[in-house]
Amino acid sequence: MEKNKGLTVKGRIYGGFGIVLAFLVALAAVALLGFATVRDNVADYARVLVNTSAIQQIDRNVAGLRRNIFVYVDEGNQKALDRANELRTVLRRDLNEVAARVRLAETKAAMDRMVILFERYSGNFDKVIELRTERERLVREGTDVIGRDTSAIVDRLIAARIQERNFDALVSLSAIDSHFSTARLAVLRFQGRMNEAEAELAIKQLNEAQSLLETASRNEMGNARTQIEDLLGRVKSYRDSFTRQRDATLSYRKLVEDMGVLATEFGDLARDAAERQNKQLSLIEEATFSVMNSRSTIAAVASALAVVLGLFAAYLIARSILVPINRMTDAMGDLAGGRLDVTVPALERGDEIGQMAQAVQVFKQNAVDKKRMEEEAEAAREAQAKAEAEQRGREAAIVAEVAEVAKAASEGDLDRRIELAGKDGFLLNLCEGVNNLVNLTGIALKDVAEVLAAVARGDLTRRITNNYGGLFGQLKGDVNQTADKLFEIVTNINSSAGQIGSAAAEVAAGSQDLSERSEQQASA
Between 161 and 320, the more confident residue is 161
Between 291 and 5, the more confident residue is 291
In this predicted structure, what is the pLDDT of residue 163? 83
**pLDDT confidence bin for 86, thresholds 50/70/90:** very high
Closest CA to 49 of 268, 265, 283: 283
Domain at 138-256: CATH code: 1.20.1440.210
Neighbours of 66 (CB within 10 A): 19
Q: Is 214 helix (H, G, I), strand (E, B) or coil?
A: helix
**pLDDT confidence bin for 128, thresholds 50/70/90:** confident
Angle (CA) 335 340 341, round 5°: 120
Res. 233: pLDDT tops 80: yes
The ranges assigned to domains in the chain are 24-133+266-307, 138-256, 430-522
Residues 472-497: pLDDT tens digits? 888 888 888 888 888 888 888 877 77
Res. 34: pLDDT tops 80: no
> Which of 51-55, 235-239, 386-390, 514-518 has the least mean pLDDT?
514-518
Closest CA to 122 of 97, 76, 90, 98: 90
Res. 522: pLDDT tops 70: no
> Which of 95-99, 123-127, 170-174, 517-521 has the least mean pLDDT?
517-521
Between 518 and 185, the more confident residue is 185
pTM above 0.85, yes or no: no
* Element (DSSP H or E) covering residue 90: helix 78-101
In this predicted structure, what is the pLDDT of residue 197? 86
CATH architecture of 24-133+266-307: Up-down Bundle (1.20)
Mean pLDDT throughout 33-44? 67
Torsion angles phi and psi, residue 4, rounded to 5: -85, 115
**H-state helical runs in 411-460:** 425-456
Please provide the average confidence, as pLDDT, over all residues in the chain.
Answer: 78
> Which of 94-103, 294-303, 484-493 has the least mean pLDDT?
294-303
